[in-house]
Structure 1
Amino acid sequence: MSPQQGEKFGSWLARQLRRAGMNQAELADELEMTRAAVSAWINDRAEPRPETQRRIAAILGTDSASIYNRTDVAPDLPLQWHHRSAYKDGGREYGNAAAFAFNADLSALAREATQNSLDERYDERKPVRVRYTLEELTGEHLDQFLAALHWDELREHYDEAALLEQKVSRSLKAALRDLDENKSLILLRVDDYNAAGLTGDEYGDGRYTAVVRRQLDSRKESGAKAGGSYGLGKVTLWATSRFNLVLINSTLSESYEGRTERRVVGRVDLPWRKVGNEAYAGPAWFGQADTEPNRQQVSRSWWADEQTVRDLHLDRLSDEPGTSFLIVGAHDASGTAESLKDMHEKLVIALAEGFWAAMVGGNDGGPLLEASVVAMRNGRVVVDEKRVDPHTSHPALSRAFKAYLDRDTVEELTTSTQVARADVTLVVPPRKSDKRKQGGGHHRAVLLVTPAGEDDDPVNQVVYMRGNRMTVMSKRPRELPLGATRFHAVLLAGYATEQTGADVELAEEFLRASEPPEHNDWKHTEELTSVYARGALSRLREFRVEIDKAVRQLVGRRTTVRGEGPAALRELLKLDVFGPAGSRSRRNVPLVEITRGDLDDTGAWNVWVDLKLPESDSTWRLTPIAKFDVRSGGRPVVAWKEIVPRDNCREEDGNLVIEAGVRLASFSGITDPSSHPVHGNLAGLIIDIQKSRGGAL
């Protein structure tokens, strides 16, 4: 066999005869040769001469090149839906339990589907390109699509499944009702380019079966860098469909049956149902009937022609390897995005939030990912294609990561545009299977910090990531010092550091084992305790403590400090955190650490108050009250012109809201001179911190 030939001629010819519905005797008659000669070819005892191979190609409807390359002849067989028969033991499944592992909203879809594309990047010199296309079909466009989908074959199964008194059935019933009443259907196609594609055998191990025929198969041939580990991410595709229906068109990076382009298949996940006298287990597949003797009538993928791909809205923009997933009846289960415009916007935001770092490139190399979203109606663009730009959505963080890639970081922040780097050690515990007790190791993760702008929001959070730079989570460091520089930060671990080595792989595997199915935290999981020695969770906690410590060291206190004013003014400032009762223990109330204030030209007091709070499991709701300390009589309350939350708090209806667990907070305020009973410099100012209704004080 030549390198182009993936198998011997005999096995290839036998398969083509089965697909053509022809036996050995019929081929022998067409060739005017003996059946014994054909049998010898089939059993690899001999090969036909070149001129005979050309005649065989003509009979099979192909060419000599296909025989040489062992390219399967695409049989002209009708498309069908094959429904899995009910289990003979009486077992029933009223839906795919894996679909309930995620919220079926567009943010979860964007996160999981794009992560899978990143994991399957083919040429590492170029980015993976993902394109999300929303399209609403109505009128004849809808009718043509449903006809190509063989909807009439499916409808009776949907109708029966919708009659069941089960959760999935009720959702299907609503979807069918809306389709019948509105005569409208939303499709969402997720295309990736420069990805591996669904390679592999129709039924054996491979990417194809992991996605199309199996559950909880996390076959990631990208190895240690892979973001996924549960085999659940693909379920979000079906969960986003109101009909639990997805069509697939894949261009393969490795040939299968001698072909690479337009490998098409469909799958629907329905609950157990009975149609006529036949009971069905759940899933069904759309394709051509398999001609193999042991799989008669099973629907398998087929090599579609260009027109069929267009009719199914599965056409791709180029012949680059990758896969297109078409979600039929796409919706956002959260209810926050119903129109095409809202769905478009939500996808753009989700892609930016989850993958901004993967879209940043440096001087020595481009980004890992490019992403865009477009919305259409009946083939016409209604919301222009939007390419996600990390430097627009996350400018400070993108600047920080690019500085790291370009080796342009500093050890200490002195200007507002600098990026400081600190290394943080992650101790990786040994695996239980390690024969040596001293297994595991130490990994040097990278913390990047850059100052935030005055209008940035949110701030003072650390974005955590590993592997292919998908955002795992964002956490606020604990015990930030009052008046610390507002900042943005990112923590790079594992392969996100752009480093290689044994410690990087150890860290990657350890952190991946600590992630739940949503990949949005590093915490206790069953895999973590099953695989790693005792103390694994403590190592994660220690890692978080070291990260927070490194942040505090980098941000310190503000370099720009308000002046405390003349001593005469400071003496006019007093503080009262006891409120009207005046008898509570200081251990249970906020304490004022520092108060700074001055009088402006209008006579208004400008004050800055820093609070130290005791431990509390409840949210604090505090009311700052300004009073004048006059020489005689009561202390009149003066109004606030403005209250501005500064650190670790927010303002709601004139109250300060401070989340449970926060120990330090600060705010500033300006009094209203029109409410002053006397000029500000003729009376002392008292800041009274009182509990507001529903507060923890």
Structure 2
Amino acid sequence: MATRRDPGPDAVRPRWVFDALPPSLARRGGEPASHAFRQDIATFVREVLQNANDQAIEFPEVHFRFVELAGGDLADFRDAVRWPELERHLRAAARTRGGRAIAAALDDIRRRGRLRLLCVEDRNTVGLTGDELHGDSHFRALCKDTLYSHKRSDGAGGSYGLGKSVLWAFSGLSTVLFNSNLSEHAPGQRSPRLIGRAELPSHEVQEGTRRWYSGPGWFGRPVAAAEGMRAESVWGQPAGRLAERLHLARGDHTGTSLLILGFRDPTSDDEPDIETLAARIRDATVREFWPALTMPGRPLVVWVVTPAGGRLISARDLAPVEPFVDCYRGRHSDRDAVDEPGDVAVRDIPIDVPARRDGARAVRGHVRLCVRLAREDREGRADPLLGHVAWFRGPGMVVRYWDRRSLALGARPYHAVLACGEAREPEEPTDADRAVERFLRAAEPPGHDDWTTTAALKAEYKRGYAKALAAMKAQVSAALRELVVPRPRQGTTGPDRLRRRFPIGRAGGAGGGASAFRFSGLSARFEGGRWRFAGAVAPAQPMQRWECSIRLFERGEDGSAAMDVPIERIDDCAGATSVDIHAGVARVVAADGAREVAFSGRSATLSDNAVGRGELTLEVAGRGS
């Protein structure tokens, strides 16, 4: 165990201490874990809010607060953070291959005379508990260790210890400060607790003689040990006074405030202003955490504050995801089908969790699929999340918006959620729900954006995990088809699938060769007793003059045309000079030299007697002239 020596009164003031290069002289180009994630605002918000939600004691609350310092405020901040010490290392790191972003941030501060900060404060959470040097703890996982995770429950969002790397990725100076009120104190500890951490590439500093540093450095109370100097947490009143000067002060709520120096969006081509960044954080919070914001029990509360003011993310902000919220609220619906826009139908999908390697037995659980028919007049086909399934579990973060728009041609527009684990019945989760929660957590890769085979699954579960995930997804798709692909109401099993056919070449003959025309963008849906369809046709080779015919018919069991479905109207036909409909078949003449004709239209209203047992076929035939 390390022994401490009294560093003397001159060293009591917090300072920056960087680790020297190890005896191997091995260097690093930066934080390796940062490359495991997309470095966008959505990823940043996911990591920050997921961590707060995981560490909640009661109702969690998170405040994003932007600050921009200039003039005397900036000078005072620089003095409090011991800027000359930090800047010496930042400039050395900026000269390395991995230090371009740091160089740009330093240049921006010099030119503008301003420093942008983002403080993220969570309340009613555990705080940075734990010993300074030993054991697994929240403090060590966030402020000291690399690739270690310390979560409070089996269902907690993160399990790799990688996600925290995004904090430093969003700092132009690769530096983050922390101030925390602890929920539990060890002997000798007194909140608040303050410390800083810089994650720099290995760098060489001129200090009389040239000296290489490994990269990371810490801001805190300097302590001399046998292995060398290190920085430890500042506690109590000194920490509180320092936090005031660093714009990190917080009230009495337990939890942690983190301060990102030189906050920026590393994926943005421009330099967005604070209001734009705040809007992006609000949008990402709504899109990624609407389940946590609305889930019964302990809903997540989020504020976004700028120098111009701040506000709570509320129901009015949920409009982009309102169909999903409405869908989840209908999770106890007893409807067997969705007939009208806004209807919600529910299916419990079985999932077989395999036995664990620690001896826990296999469990059959269920996940809940809720499907809501879309209101086209309000939600429309322009909605980028139409035809998607939002996956989530107990923590209330959307793991993935699963794109099922290609599920079946002719499917009615819908939104769906797959509520899993402790989110299936959040008021009263069962033991089976908790087993599913643990299983799906292990199935998430470092980005927590899928449920797939992972090293964690292999290490924790016996064989069968890949089959269980595949079977769950297949049954979800089958249930979606059953609910959203229209079927006739006259007791028969009518058209539940639309096929496309390209039978006619340049001369108009059916033949077995490749078509001289290409067909794309096919879409169709059955609603209000009629088919609505759209698509595009183009010649494979340029033609000066050409035309096409569009026909709908029902195909019999032998593959032949059994019954025509008459086209009533072509609503739009871009690239055409004329459209005629004769005997239910549309003839479209393309404009001279047109490369493509895009069309949309509808069939005549079909009576129950006109709906047979065959598949519906949309046939487009092109012909040159």
TM over 0.5: yes
* DSSP 3-state at the match of 2:47: helix
Distance, in Å, in 1 between the alignment partners of 2:579 and 2:479 is: 49
How far has the Cα of 1:374 moved from its partner? Answer: 1.8
Q: TM-score, normalised by structure 1?
A: 0.70
How far has the Cα of 1:338 moved from its partner? Answer: 1.8
Distance, in Å, in 1 between the alignment partners of 2:568 and 2:85 is: 66
Matched to 1:80, the amino acid is R
1:233-272 matched pairs, under 5 angstroms: 233-272=163-202
1:458-469 matched pairs, under 5 angstroms: 458-469=385-396
Q: Which residue of 2 aligns with 1:509?
A: 438
- In the alignment, which of 218, 224, 228 is matched to residue 149 of structure 2? 218
Closer/same/farther in 2, CA of residues 622 and 372 from structure 1, 3 Å limit? farther
Closer/same/farther in 2, CA of residues 260 and 550 from structure 1, 3 Å limit? farther
Q: Which residue of 1 aligns with 2:304?
A: 373
- In the alignment, which of 70, 86, 89 is matched to residue 157 of structure 1? 89
1:2-401 matched pairs, under 5 angstroms: 77-123=12-58, 127-164=59-96, 166=97, 168-205=98-135, 206-221=137-152, 223-276=153-206, 277=209, 278-290=211-223, 294=226, 297-303=229-235, 304-316=238-250, 318-335=251-268, 338-362=272-296, 365=297, 367-376=298-307, 381=308, 384-389=310-315, 391-401=318-328
Distance, in Å, in 2 between the alignment partners of 1:19 and 1:595 is: 78
Q: Which residue of 2 aligns with 1:6?
A: none
How far has the Cα of 1:482 moved from its partner? Answer: 4.0
Matched to 1:451, the amino acid is L
Matched to 2:217, the amino acid is A
How far has the Cα of 1:581 moved from its partner? Answer: 5.5
How far has the Cα of 1:483 moved from its partner? Answer: 3.8
* DSSP 3-state at the match of 1:500: coil
Q: Which has the higher contact order (CA 8 A, sep 6+)?
A: 2
How far has the Cα of 1:283 moved from its partner? Answer: 0.9
1:487 and 2:450 are equivalent in the alignment: no
Whichever structure has more strand as a proportion of its residues is 2
Q: Which residue of 1 aligns with 2:368?
A: 446
Matched to 2:471, the amino acid is E
How far has the Cα of 1:691 moved from its partner? Answer: 8.8
How far has the Cα of 1:247 moved from its partner? Answer: 0.4
Distance, in Å, in 1 between the alignment partners of 2:18 and 2:63 is: 31
* DSSP 3-state at the match of 1:238: helix
How far has the Cα of 1:594 moved from its partner? Answer: 8.9
* DSSP 3-state at the match of 1:113: helix
Q: Which residue of 2 aligns with 1:663?
A: none
String of CA shifts for 1:212-268, please: whole Å, max 9, x gaps. 1101111002x1120111011111111111111000010111124455532110010
Closer/same/farther in 2, CA of residues 623 and 667 from structure 1, 3 Å limit? farther
> Percent of aligned positions with the same letter in both sequences?
29
Q: Which has the larger radius of gyration?
A: 1
Closer/same/farther in 2, CA of residues 477 and 675 from structure 1, 3 Å limit? closer
Distance, in Å, in 2 between the alignment partners of 1:235 and 1:594 is: 45
Distance, in Å, in 1 between the alignment partners of 2:283 and 2:73 is: 29
Whichever structure has more helix as a proportion of its residues is 1
Conserved in 1, the CA contact under 8 Å of 2:579 and 2:588? no
* DSSP 3-state at the match of 1:266: strand
Distance, in Å, in 1 between the alignment partners of 2:578 and 2:108 is: 66
Distance, in Å, in 2 between the alignment partners of 1:452 and 1:596 is: 14
Q: Which residue of 1 aligns with 2:600?
A: none
Closer/same/farther in 2, CA of residues 270 and 413 from structure 1, 3 Å limit? same
* DSSP 3-state at the match of 1:541: helix
Matched to 1:90, the amino acid is L
How far has the Cα of 1:419 moved from its partner? Answer: 2.4
Matched to 1:553, the amino acid is E
Matched to 2:533, the amino acid is V
Distance, in Å, in 2 between the alignment partners of 1:551 and 1:396 is: 16
1:543 and 2:543 are equivalent in the alignment: no
Structure 1: runs of 5 or more not aligned: 1-13, 23-74, 561-574, 598-605, 612-620, 626-633, 641-665
Closer/same/farther in 2, CA of residues 430 and 190 from structure 1, 3 Å limit? same
How far has the Cα of 1:89 moved from its partner? Answer: 2.1
Distance, in Å, in 2 between the alignment partners of 1:549 and 1:668 is: 33
Distance, in Å, in 1 between the alignment partners of 2:147 and 2:286 is: 27
Conserved in 1, the CA contact under 8 Å of 2:289 and 2:397? yes
* DSSP 3-state at the match of 1:578: coil
Q: TM-score, normalised by structure 2?
A: 0.77
Distance, in Å, in 1 between the alignment partners of 2:431 and 2:400 is: 25
Distance, in Å, in 1 between the alignment partners of 2:281 and 2:354 is: 38
How far has the Cα of 1:433 moved from its partner? Answer: 5.2
Matched to 2:363, the amino acid is G
Distance, in Å, in 1 between the alignment partners of 2:576 and 2:282 is: 48
Closer/same/farther in 2, CA of residues 516 and 674 from structure 1, 3 Å limit? closer
* DSSP 3-state at the match of 2:571: strand
Matched to 1:284, the amino acid is G
* DSSP 3-state at the match of 1:284: strand
Distance, in Å, in 1 between the alignment partners of 2:94 and 2:240 is: 34
Structure 2: runs of 5 or more not aligned: 490-500, 551-566, 598-621
Conserved in 2, the CA contact under 8 Å of 1:372 and 1:388? no
How far has the Cα of 1:668 moved from its partner? Answer: 8.2
Q: Which residue of 2 aligns with 1:609?
A: 533
Q: Which residue of 2 aligns with 1:26?
A: none
Closer/same/farther in 2, CA of residues 143 and 681 from structure 1, 3 Å limit? same
Matched to 2:170, the amino acid is T
Distance, in Å, in 2 between the alignment partners of 1:431 and 1:103 is: 32
Distance, in Å, in 1 between the alignment partners of 2:336 and 2:106 is: 60
Distance, in Å, in 1 between the alignment partners of 2:423 and 2:531 is: 44
Conserved in 2, the CA contact under 8 Å of 1:579 and 1:691? no
Count of aligned residue pairs for this structure pair? 542
Closer/same/farther in 2, CA of residues 678 and 495 from structure 1, 3 Å limit? closer
How far has the Cα of 1:274 moved from its partner? Answer: 2.1
Conserved in 2, the CA contact under 8 Å of 1:623 and 1:692? yes
Closer/same/farther in 2, CA of residues 312 and 413 from structure 1, 3 Å limit? same
